Amino acid sequence: MNCISKNKLELIRQKYPKGCVVELIEMEDVQAPKKGTQGKVMYIDDIGTIQIQWENGSSLGVIYGLDRIERVNL
C-alpha cells in the first residue's frame, strides 16, 4: 500500500478539487486514454490517487507522482 502524508494529500486535494478539468500528459498504463484526453476530477482517495472521469467514458485513476496531468481550468 502506498503511504502519503496528510499534508501532501491535502495539497493534492487543493490543487485538483472535485470537478476541475484536467488533461492527460503521460500515463504508463495499457488502458490509459490518449495523451491530451481531458476529464473531470471525481475525488482523490486516501492514498492520493486522483480519480478522473475521462471524456472517452473511462474512469481510470491517476497515480500522483507517477502519471502526469495538467489542470485546464484554473
Spans of all domains in the chain: 6-71
Distance of CA 10 to the CA centre of its chain: 14
Distance of CA 60 to the CA centre of its chain: 9
Residues 40-65 pLDDT 10s: 999 999 999 999 999 999 999 999 88
Cα 44 to Cα 9: distance, rounded to the nearest angstrom: 8
**CA 64 → CA 9, 11, 44, distances in Å?**
10, 11, 10
Identify the CATH homologous superfamily for domain 6-71: SH3 Domains (2.30.30.40)
pLDDT the model gives residue 45? 96
- Decide if pLDDT at 1 tops 60: no
Q: Cβ distance 53 to 40 under 8 Å?
A: yes
**Band of pLDDT at residue 3, cut at 50, 70 and 90:** confident
The 10 Å Cβ neighbour count of residue 73 is 9
